[in-house]
Amino acid sequence: MQKARENIGHILSSGKESIIGEWIAHVRKHQVYADRSHDELLGTVSSAFNGYLRFIRDGDRAHLDDFIGFIAAKRLAHGFPLSAVQYGLEVFRGVAAQRIFSLAPHSDQPKMLNLVFEAVNYAKNHFAELYQDLTASKIQEQMRELESAIDQLKEEKARSEASARLKEQFLSNISHELRTPLTVVLGFSRLIANGTAPAEKAPELAGLIQKAGSSLLRMVEEILLMSKLATGNAKLYSHYVWLNDLISEAVKKAQMEFPEHNRKWDVVLPEPEPKIVGDHQKLEVLFFHLVANAMKFSPPGSRIIVRARVDNPAGFVIVDVIDEGIGIPDHVKEWIFDRFRQIEENLARKYSGMGHGLALAKMIANVHGGDVTLSSSEQGKGSAFTVTLPINGSSGAQTVNGQKNGVKNGVKNGLPYKIGNGQEGHA
């Protein structure tokens, strides 16, 4: 018994309190207090000490295991090494023995002392096993986090590489698209300037130069518009716009742009003609690109349907552009509206273009409070795009003298069309 007391005294006076903190036992008050450093080490609070003593006294290993698991998890989370916490348990052994000596009858002290030492030995061994298991579990968790981080880096790398490829493809496409009209402008203007072109050919060459210059200007303006829309710096000059005229003008412009693309047209326009609030120029660009896209990717002699209707309850106009073209593969549908993307590189060269038309159309619709969606498409069986635009705009929208600005009612640029009651007419 005396030797045990000396061991306890040695533990309590070992001078390592600065490492693990101090326990203070008030025998008369039957209370034990621990300073903050020891509480931080063992993950305990002083008020719980008597409960731990009951676990030891009663041989309650289940609750003792809970206590050990609690300490192990908390200390591991704070980065304490196993040796430091095991030393804390040695101090706990001494303080627990001292406390039991003060409470237990003299005859029970040897028995209680054995219980303390057995319990702490059990705790140290079990703690070491549990600590190792928790450490292994923590390492596995860290490995999973590391693997997840590596996967994220791989995804970011793949996105970065894809972005770099898109930039390279865009630069290649735009250089090709700009070079073609520039070659026409410079080549034919040189012939006229040098006087080598026959006089009777001058008007024709001038017309080709004007067309190439207009195409070049349109590409530059649309790239600038897309940049402004992407950064939120685009301004809308909104007023009342007549929907049927917008669609007719866009179709006529696309036909002039691609005169070699012979298509059958089925244009269905609502009557009475609806008017919406928006930027006429930008909305015309929207419909032009949807119609031009249908023309570009559909075979000669195929049918293109442009169908407009009004959804009064929802307050939207809805326009469908349907073609009988090559369709869109499933893997392309998720990025079909991305800027400067082409379905395939070989198709990009076959069909030309910078790959910005659908993206620009969607951006213009979005800035007007609407949208452009791919409503249906099957590879080899054509595509259907749907435009939704709100009928009403801001209260500041202005009409042009209260009249529609554009084509007279019933005249649709020479296109066959159907009015809303199903009757077919021709301009």
In contact, 320 and 305? CB cutoff 8 Å = yes
Q: What is the pLDDT of residue 44?
A: 46
Domain annotation covers residue 254 = yes
Lowest mean pLDDT among 68-82, 220-234, 390-404: 390-404
Would the pLDDT of 23 be above 50?
Answer: no
Task: Decide which of 215, 230, 245 is a domain's last residue.
Answer: 230
Residues 337 and 292 occupy one common structural domain: yes
Whether 184 and 68 map to the same domain: the answer is no
Residues 191 and 314 in one domain: no
Same domain as 290, residue 372 = yes
Domain membership flag for residue 151: no
Question: What are the residue ranges of helices labelled H in 258-395?
Answer: 280-296, 330-333, 345-351, 357-367
State yes or no: pLDDT of 28 exceeds 70.
Answer: no
Residues 419 and 307 occupy one common structural domain: yes
pLDDT higher than 50, residue 26: no
pLDDT the model gives residue 350: 57
CB proximity list for 274: less than 8 A, separation 6 or greater: 242, 243, 244, 310, 317, 391
Output the pLDDT for position 171: 73
The per-residue pLDDT for 404 is 36
User: Hey, what long-range contacts does 391-396 have (CB within 8 A, 24 or more apart)?
Assistant: 391/274, 391/275, 391/276, 391/277, 391/310, 391/315, 391/316, 391/317, 392/276, 392/277, 392/315, 393/238, 393/276, 393/277, 393/278, 393/368, 393/369, 394/238, 394/277, 396/238
- Within this chain, do residues 12 and 70 fall inside the same structural domain, yes or no? yes
pLDDT recorded at residue 128: 74
In a domain, 377, yes or no: yes
Residue 422: what pLDDT?
33
| The pLDDT of residue 96 | 64
Residue 120 lies in a domain: yes
Mean pLDDT (the chain, rounded): 72
Indicate whether 34 and 124 sit together in one domain: yes
Residues 223 and 79 in one domain: no
Instruction: For the chain, give the percent of residues with pLDDT over 70.
Output: 63
Domain CATH code at residue 214: 1.10.287.130
User: Per the domain annotation, does 155 fall within a domain?
Assistant: no
Domain end, chosen from 176, 207, 230, is at: 230
User: What number is the average pLDDT over the span 266-293?
Assistant: 92
Is residue 158 situated within a structural domain? no
Tokens read off for 52: 């731990």
| pLDDT tens column, 48-93 | 555 666 666 666 777 777 777 777 777 777 777 767 666 666 666 6
Cβ count near 193 (within 10 Å): 9
Distance CA 335, CA 289 (A): 17
Nearest to 166 by CA among 424, 361, 403, 359: 359
Q: Which two tokens stand for residue 202?
A: 């001058």
Q: How many other C-beta atoms lie within 10 A of the C-beta of residue 18? A: 8
Cis, bond preceding 259 (omega within 30 deg of 0): no
* 185 and 274 together in one domain: no
> 249 lies in a domain?
yes
150 pLDDT higher than 80: yes
Looking at the structure, tell me whether residues 178 and 130 fall in a common domain.
no
Q: Which two tokens stand for residue 340?
A: 């400067």
Percent of the chain with pLDDT over 90: 16
The 8 Å CB, 24+ separation contacts for 358-363 are 358/289, 358/290, 358/293, 358/385, 359/226, 360/222, 360/225, 360/226, 360/229, 360/285, 360/286, 360/289, 361/285, 361/286, 361/287, 361/289, 361/290, 361/387, 362/337, 363/226, 363/229, 363/230
**Is it the case that residue 397 has pLDDT exceeding 80?**
no
Higher per-residue pLDDT: 136 or 232: 232
Q: Answer yes or no: is 104 within a domain.
A: yes
Are residues 140 and 266 located together in one domain of the fold? no
Convert the pLDDT of each residue in 100-142 to its tens digit.
Answer: 666 666 666 677 667 767 766 776 677 777 777 777 777 778 7
Q: What pLDDT does 140 receive? A: 79
Question: Look-up: residue for tokens 């609407």?
Answer: 370
The range of the structural domain enclosing residue 215 comes to 164-230
- Cβ neighbours around 251 below 10 Å, total: 26
Structure confidence at residue 175 (pLDDT): 75
Query: Which one, of 95, 99, 1, lies nearest residue 39 by Cα?
Result: 95
Out of 207, 230, 253, a domain closes at 230
User: Shortest CA distance to 397 belongs to which of 229, 280, 282?
Assistant: 280
The domain that holds 372 is classified in CATH as: 3.30.565.10
Query: What's residue 126's pLDDT?
Result: 72
**277 contacts: CB under 8 Å, gap ≥ 6:** 238, 239, 240, 241, 390, 391, 392, 393, 394, 397
Least confident of 67-76, 156-165, 274-283: 67-76
Same domain, 76 and 219: no
Q: How many domains does the chain have?
A: 3
**Lowest mean per-residue pLDDT among 81-85, 164-168, 171-175, 357-361:** 81-85
